[in-house]
């Protein structure tokens, strides 16, 4: 049986200057090496972070699975363990600084051949490896080249003598809420300080050393600048931390303060919609600009610069980094991004309506899921195009808000996982789905608003009933309930309808011809009250003995059939009455417009001895016509004015039944 292998790489081991060529050569080298050992390769996976993230398109073109990570060492160890558990390979090829082996080996649940793809192998790790594939190390001295490049960027003395850029950079960070990405801050510096951005790109460590004391560099993803007065930049000493953990002793000396920033996001829906509009317009304009640049008759100062300056101004004014202005993508890619930003505009509006307790939960989950799809699609597209998606503030902030929402509501959205991807080909489909949900949510929102207006009408007429008990007011109450249920999708078991009507059920006129919807609402409220009564009675041990009246009626009806008319059949109530009276209860769904002919088979059935009609759940006219037919057939017709408790029904039967 042929053996199989998996390969997991770090993006750090590849040479950026010859990335495509190097990926192809390494892939070919591994396949040839494995062929000699009669082993096939199952998967190529690369874990990328920081600068290596920009190489993602190169890996994707070669068929690699790309995993973005914040902590690359941990993610590679985790990915190796996960793939070994999933594929059960015979061999693992690890292209990474080999200290990851220390994390992986203890978790291996099977014997796996370990092969290292490396430039050099430490002696202490050699016993752990079965094979080694050695790369040709290029003779470059990175530190020397960095220092040489710095001297070409800026004279050595200028870093110490020119303090104007300190003040300007501090002002930019302060105006942005005392925190912002480094590249975005440097992008907003005046043109005369362009060398500062070059310094950061060439040698981040030297840039950090040259920062003013008021600014703090945080190595996050993306790297951030904090002002020292930022409220979320809270200091805590080591001894304080130990005391909070309740370990150690009082003799612990105070150590230096360890400062760290909290990872936060800023999501303002109105501002986000403005930013999305700017991003969409920028994508459109960059395509137009590139076409103008190809035209020899184009005048840069009149045809391009004014619009460019306006976009830059809008970006600064709305705290957004317009990375499109200096990113080399083709027309199709910018057009795709323009459509995705338009899709996200709808997603933001959908989320704002969905983030409400009054909207139905199933519609909310569907809406937020589509929003998560949209933000995941933007992340995937940026990654495919080789753009660090953390540089996109909209992606970061909206993602953060959705993640917080998922945590608050305890809902899992797989789209919020960092390794989950949604292709841009779904953009049109997703946009249509979001537009449809937006329409549904708006309709739901309008229904809620209109239902609230009807509820106020109900409360008004109930107050009038307290004063004069008018049938006209009850008619108005019923009409408002009908509109809420039939027109505005209010549930039959609505809590707010229950709260306003539950104390008025005894006062509904018995001779009023009620609608199906109103009857169903009354039924729902009465069933709720009966269940509460049962629970209270059970807790107080009132039902230890069967009341005498139930025993009497049970003796009369024992083994017979009884027809129950009114409302919607309720299984638990049907079972309860059958058990109490030892009867077969026939309870069919009935509406006010039904023909009385449907009951003739029960009237002619000799085993049917009794008809029960629950007045609050049935039409008055309907019930009186049926009563005449039943009594003409010589059978009992019992009117139940209120209550579904067996004792209440037994009392009504005992009082109205003709025992002859």
pLDDT by residue (tens digit) across 622-645?
677 888 888 888 888 888 877 677
- Percent residues over pLDDT 70 in the chain: 77
Predicted confidence at residue 147, as pLDDT, reads 42
Percentage of residues in the chain having pLDDT higher than 90: 10
536-544 contacts at long range (C-beta below 8 A, 24 or more positions apart): none
pLDDT tens sequence across 122-153: 554 556 667 777 665 443 334 334 444 444 44
State the average pLDDT over residues 13-24.
75
The pLDDT value recorded for residue 338 is 94
Mean pLDDT over 266-292 rounds to 88
Query: Structure tokens of 609?
Result: 């001895």
pLDDT tens digits along 569-586 = 888 788 888 888 888 999
Asked whether the beta carbons of 173 and 215 are under 8 A apart, the reply is yes
Give residue 18's pLDDT.
72
Output the pLDDT for position 416: 75
Would you state the pLDDT for residue 46? 86
- pLDDT of 158 reads 46
pLDDT at 333: 92
Residue 212 has a pLDDT of 82
484 contact partners, CB below 8 Å, separation of at least 6: 451, 454, 455, 490, 494, 497
The neighbour count for residue 577, using CB atoms within 10 Å, is 18
Per-residue pLDDT, averaged over 86-104, amounts to 70
For range 228-248, the mean pLDDT: 48
Average pLDDT of span 149-158: 44
- The confidence score (pLDDT) of residue 434 equals 93
Residue 184: pLDDT over 80: no
Q: What is the pLDDT of residue 254?
A: 38
492 has pLDDT over 50: yes
Q: How far apart are CA 413 and CA 365, in angstroms?
A: 10
CA gap 329, 310 in Å, rounded: 21
Average pLDDT over residues 421-447: 90
Q: What is the mean pLDDT of residues 407-420?
A: 74
Mean pLDDT value across residues 381-388: 83
Residue 339 pLDDT > 90: yes
pLDDT exceeds 80 at position 110: no
Residue 341 has pLDDT above 90, yes or no: yes
Between CA 545 and CA 552, with CA 551 as vertex, the angle to 5 degrees is: 145
Q: Which pLDDT belongs to residue 230? A: 66
In terms of Cα–Cα distance, which of 200, 188, 465 is closest to 319? 188
pLDDT at 71 over 80: no
pLDDT at res. 346 = 93
pLDDT at 540 over 50: no
Q: How far is it, in rounded angstroms, from Cα 129 to Cα 122?
A: 11
Which pLDDT belongs to residue 609? 87
Residue 103's φ and ψ, nearest 5 degrees, are -85, -30
Tokens 């184009």 locate to: 298
**How far is 486 from 549, CA to CA, in rounded Å?**
41
In whole angstroms, what separates CA 179 from the centre of its chain?
Answer: 26
pLDDT-derived band at 541 (thresholds 50, 70, 90) equals very low
- Please state which of the ranges 72-86, 437-451, 491-505 shows the lowest mean pLDDT: 72-86
Exposed/middle/buried for residue 515 (C-beta within 10 Å: 0-12, 13-18, 19+): middle
**Contact predicate 53/46, CB 8 Å:** no
Confidence at residue 580, expressed as pLDDT on a 0 to 100 scale? 86
Q: How is residue 391 annotated by DSSP?
A: G
Mean residue pLDDT of the chain comes to 76
**Least confident interval from 155-159, 169-173, 369-373, 615-619:** 155-159
């Amino acid at each position: 049986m042929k053996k199989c292998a998996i390969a997991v790489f770090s993006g750090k081991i590849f040479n950026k200057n010859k990335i495509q060529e190097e990926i192809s050569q390494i892939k070919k080298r591994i396949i040839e090496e494995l062929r000699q050992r009669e082993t096939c390769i199952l998967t190529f996976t690369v874990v990328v972070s920081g600068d290596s993230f920009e190489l993602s398109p190169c890996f994707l073109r070669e068929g690699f699975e790309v995993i973005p990570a914040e902590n690359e060492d941990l993610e590679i160890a985790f990915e190796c363990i996960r793939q070994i558990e999933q594929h059960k390979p015979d061999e693992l090829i690890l292209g990474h600084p080999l200290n990851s082996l220390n994390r992986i080996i203890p978790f291996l649940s099977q014997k796996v051949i370990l092969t290292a793809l490396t430039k050099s192998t430490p002696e202490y790790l050699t016993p752990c490896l079965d094979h080694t594939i050695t790369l040709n190390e290029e003779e470059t001295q990175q530190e020397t080249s960095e220092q040489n490049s710095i001297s070409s960027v800026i004279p050595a003395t200028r870093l110490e003598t020119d303090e104007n850029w300190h003040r300007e950079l501090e002002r930019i960070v302060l105006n942005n809420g005392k925190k912002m990405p480094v590249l975005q801050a440097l992008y907003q510096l005046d043109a005369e300080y362009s060398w500062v951005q070059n310094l950061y790109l060439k040698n981040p460590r030297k840039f950090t050393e040259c920062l003013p004391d008021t600014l703090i560099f945080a190595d996050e993803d993306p790297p951030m600048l904090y002002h020292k007065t930022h409220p979320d930049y809270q200091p805590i000493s080591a001894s304080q931390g130990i005391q909070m953990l309740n370990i150690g002793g009082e003799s612990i000396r105070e150590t230096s303060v360890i400062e760290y920033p909290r990872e936060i996001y800023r999501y303002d829906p109105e501002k986000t919609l403005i930013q999305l509009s700017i991003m969409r317009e920028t994508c459109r304009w960059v395509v137009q600009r590139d076409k103008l640049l190809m035209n020899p008759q184009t005048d840069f100062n009149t045809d391009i610069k004014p619009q460019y300056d306006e976009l830059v101004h809008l970006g600064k004014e709305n705290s957004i980094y317009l990375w499109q202005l200096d990113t080399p993508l083709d027309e199709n890619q910018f057009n795709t991004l323009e459509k995705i930003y338009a899709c996200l505009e709808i997603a933001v509006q959908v989320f704002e309506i969905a983030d409400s307790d009054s909207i139905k939960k199933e519609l909310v989950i569907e809406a937020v899921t589509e929003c998560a799809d949209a933000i995941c699609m933007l992340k995937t597209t940026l990654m495919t195009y080789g753009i660090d998606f953390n540089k996109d503030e909209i992606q970061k902030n909206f993602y953060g808000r959705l993640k917080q929402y998922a945590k608050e509501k305890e809902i899992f959205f797989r789209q919020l996982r960092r390794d989950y991807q949604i292709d841009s080909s779904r953009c049109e489909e997703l946009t249509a789905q979001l537009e449809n949900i937006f329409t549904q949510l708006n309709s739901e929102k309008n229904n809620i608003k209109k239902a609230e207006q009807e509820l106020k009408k109900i409360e008004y007429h109930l107050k009038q009933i307290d004063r004069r008990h008018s049938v006209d007011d009850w008619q108005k109450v019923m009409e408002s309930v009908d509109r809420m249920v039939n027109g505005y999708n209010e549930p039959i078991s609505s809590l707010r309808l229950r709260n306003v009507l539950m104390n008025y059920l005894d006062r509904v006129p018995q001779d009023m011809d009620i609608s199906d919807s109103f009857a169903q609402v009354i039924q729902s409220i009465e069933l709720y009250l009966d269940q509460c009564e049962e629970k209270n009675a059970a807790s107080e041990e009132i039902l230890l003995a069967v009341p005498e009246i139930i025993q009497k009626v049970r003796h009369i009806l024992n083994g017979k059939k009884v027809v129950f008319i009114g409302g919607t059949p309720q299984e638990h109530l049907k079972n309860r009455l059958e058990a109490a009276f030892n009867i077969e209860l026939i309870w069919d769904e009935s509406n006010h417009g039904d023909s009385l002919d449907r009951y003739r088979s029960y009237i002619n059935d000799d085993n049917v001895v009794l008809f029960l009609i629950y007045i609050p759940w049935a039409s008055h006219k309907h019930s009186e016509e049926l009563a005449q037919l039943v009594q003409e057939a010589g059978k009992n017709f019992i009117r139940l004015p209120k209550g579904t408790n067996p004792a209440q029904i037994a009392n009504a039967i005992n009082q109205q039944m003709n025992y002859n």
